[in-house]
Chains A and B, each alone.
Chain A
């Protein structure tokens, strides 16, 4: 019986399918991994090499040099480099000058603690006279460990044009120092659960996103963030951190336009520093605020009201309740005074609640917040997507 076109097509071997996939632009190629279990890894037409850990820096440099940005189909965009007995690095190049270095082969979690230094200021002579056509502007580093930390340092120090650095899932990373006084604009650190110390000499930094327990942060050269996320629901990394230790970081977020903050940071680390001079520390430019708190915290509403009094330009407020978020138990931070309401929010257009389980709580918080609003009341969206009309609630 003659096979139909469909049958013939279905029975194409992996190499052929992989060839078609390799002609898709990166993000679309990635999507093909969802087609079926057989297609899961076809997009990974990978250049596979073997060697030792010492070879990695050279191999990655060569991988970057060989990548012809004008003819990306001819050279490998993906590299899987096997080293040691059972370890591998996956490197990939993506659109918009992105480089991914994923060390999470076989999901090994090596717990041994280590420190990391990224020095992007070094003046160094370019050894290779072959001009690099591919300049890495965004680097995504995943799952470093004590074994691969030096390699990562050495690779990063060669990326003169790096503007955006993302570091995730680095188990064992205790201390991180980054120096880049001219180019680095965006820094993202996610889920490095052992991080205790973050030292930044990054005077051009504009966007900082952090998720994990709060480490001791030292912004050595002051920078003014436009966009900051401090998602520290897991609490403190060092239990001896006091408000004073947070002052320099506070100065970096003071002029931000978009900010994500956990309630406990405000109560424990910000309020004690600014309350003596209350009224003079204002977040002048803040237009969008994401506030994360635990509703178990009795001070939660008071903390939010106190903070909002410092945000005259606020346009959008997102209040997220997470029952797993850390909160400061029964603090006597003087937030009780927050009951004095001044109508300071003239620009507020939207309040959105997320994660509330009890609608009565939303109404109660909304009633408090409305007292701060001057002029037209904002739209208030609840956790289930409906809109509150407080006039009806009175």
Chain B
């Protein structure tokens, strides 16, 4: 008996619908990298358009671009540098939130690193603004904390 050539996942595409109603196609193997999407596929089947309420048409294409490269094993340092080069802080934040929502580990870690890189040389106040956080330390708490921390590592580094 001839084996039926199964419509294997290697060429199957999945339809994703963004929160603002647009539809995008991705390869099934790329969808596997986004655990949230995969879970929805498992629940709803791979013939249905998967709704992604919290991801929008602005960012999804960029995410799809990333994973297209990932499944062909083409993600290099250069590609990653290009990928984030023209993104402003808000755009990175949106992508980061989307990667988190989609449970897309590789992209999530890459964007975490990128955000860390953007914040590395910035002041504490800048980071507060970036995350929308208020300083709720009392002046006493803050100075005590600075003193304690001075002993952890700063103290040693300054001596060298």
Contact = CB atoms under 8 A, between A and B. Distances in A.
Contacts of A39: 133
A59 B109 CA distance: 28
A186 B159 CA distance: 10
A98 B160 CA distance: 12
A9 B97 contact: yes
A61 interface: no
B9 interface: no
B152 interface: yes
A31 B124 contact: yes
A131 B8 CA distance: 46
Interface string A14-57: 00110111111111101111111111100000000000000000
B160 A96 contact: yes
Given A35-B128, A168-B151, A21 B116 contact: yes
A204 B24 CA distance: 68
A85 interface: no
A84 B108 CA distance: 38
Question: Interface residues of B: mostly helix, strand, loop or mixed?
Answer: helix
B100 interface: yes
A7 interface: yes
Interface residues of A, number: 45
Contact of A140 (B113, B145, B156, B160): B156
Contacts of B116: 20-21, 23-24
Interface string A286-312: 000000000000000000000000000
A5 B98 CA distance: 11
A25 B120 contact: yes
Given A24-B116, A35-B128, A36-B135, 15 more contacts: A5-B90, A9-B97, A12-B100, A21-B116, A23-B115, A24-B119, A25-B120, A28-B121, A35-B135, A36-B137, A37-B137, A37-B141, A94-B156, A96-B160, A166-B156
Interface of B: 90, 93-94, 97, 100, 108-109, 112-113, 115-117, 119-121, 124, 127-128, 131-137, 141-142, 145-146, 149, 151-154, 156-157, 159-160
Which 4 A/B pairs are nearest by Cβ-Cβ distance?
A: A23-B116, A10-B132, A6-B132, A23-B113
